[in-house]
Amino acid sequence: MAAGCCGVKKQKLSSSPPSGSGGGGGASSSSHCSGESQCRAGELGLGGAGTRLNGLGGLTGGGSGSGCTLSPPEGCGGGGGIALSPPPSCGVGTLLSTPAAAASSSPCSSSAAPSSSPGSRKMVVSAEMCCFCFDVLYCHLYGYQQPRTPRFTNEPYPLFVTWKIGRDKRLRGCIGTFSAMNLHSGLREYTLTSALKDSRFPPMTRDELPRLFCSVSLLTNFEDVCDYLDWEVGVHGIRIEFINEKGSKRTATYLPEVAKEQGWDHIQTIDSLLRKGGYKAPITNEFRKTIKLTRYRSEKMTLSYAEYLAHRQHHHFQNGIGHPLPPYNHYS
């Protein structure tokens, strides 16, 4: 399934429903994305499969919720009938787990024992993945043949592609999926989906390329937990499932960096997710205890357009790129 990711304005959180709002407005709503880099997926009903999430604020098909929301396939609003399937900048780090390992995690796991030992393996995400995303977008905007198959791994992962723009790195588009996709086809698809079909923004243009930043996030280590507080701010992304005041099942998610960037604690994050998921009634501690929570981690890589050009100048054609290098322009 697909999801989206984006930045939102700092929010004043409250357990009471916001006055005059029911989860946000359309794509033009100012609460969807300000300059903050925040990835989260919001409201959607559970049931079928194949959902797309627009990561940082809003449904891909229009609809409700600000911030990254889980959304139905394009053209749909926030209606029901969608199932969540729990299941790259030039650095090395740790591989937390593969989607296959995540699928085998047992319910109600404890935070005391991580499912993998950090530091044991290199990260899967890489600068080349961000370069590939830039290649795909550049070729599309200039009418070149799409780049050939890249050389990085084609293992399946849940993934997000996020675009930001300008010195203040304002969100420009973010959509991804919680269903594991082969990275070659998944990054190709969500590069264009996040750049051209995020309902909160107009499609990207050639003039914007020099000011863009591309982030690729690979989601790992999905674990169901019994306690809604059993996750760590700045380490885990969380996905919640709850029953709203109308009796409908809803789900919402924040990527790992969101709570830390917003300065939220556990309760503020949970309450914000509930609001983004469309819950309008007063939020009590008893209601929070009814939430089903899944925590996960991510590997994230970010590359600017200038870094992309520098990388390509050193590795032109190495990864199947078959178009002229784009002209370099400093953004103002």
What topology is assigned to 127-220+299-319 in CATH? Glycoprotein, Type 4 Pilin (3.30.700)
Torsion 170-175-180-183 (CA) sign: negative
| Rounded (10°) CA dihedral 16, 239, 257, 267 | 30
- CA dist 5 and 54 (Å) reads 5
Please check whether residue 142 is in contact with residue 321, taking contact to mean a CB–CB distance below 8 angstroms: no
pLDDT tens digit at each of 332 positions of the chain = 566 544 343 444 444 444 433 333 333 332 333 333 334 333 333 233 344 554 443 333 333 333 343 333 332 223 333 333 333 333 223 333 444 344 333 344 433 333 334 445 688 999 999 999 999 999 999 999 999 899 999 999 999 999 999 999 999 998 989 999 999 999 999 999 999 999 889 999 999 999 999 999 999 999 999 999 999 999 999 999 999 999 999 988 888 988 998 999 999 999 999 998 999 999 999 999 999 999 999 999 999 999 999 988 876 545 455 556 664 433 32
pTM for the predicted model, two decimal places: 0.64
- CA dist 281 and 285 (Å) reads 13
Residue 70 φ/ψ region, left for φ over 0, alpha for ψ in the -120 to 50 degree band, beta for the rest:
beta
Under DSSP, is residue 238 helix (H, G, I), strand (E, B) or coil? strand
DSSP secondary structure code for residue 247 in this structure = S
Residue 307 φ/ψ region, left for φ over 0, alpha for ψ in the -120 to 50 degree band, beta for the rest:
alpha
CB atoms near residue 230 (< 10 Å): 19
Task: For residue 219, give the nearest of 195, 204, 236 by alpha carbon.
Answer: 236
- CA dist 300 and 316 (Å) reads 24
Contacts of 241 (CB under 8 A, 6+ apart): 46, 84, 249, 250, 251, 291, 292, 293, 294
Q: What are the domain boundaries of the chain? A: 127-220+299-319, 229-290
**Residue with token string 């199947």:** 320
Cα–Cα separations (whole angstroms), residue 92 to 255, 296, 297: 20, 20, 16
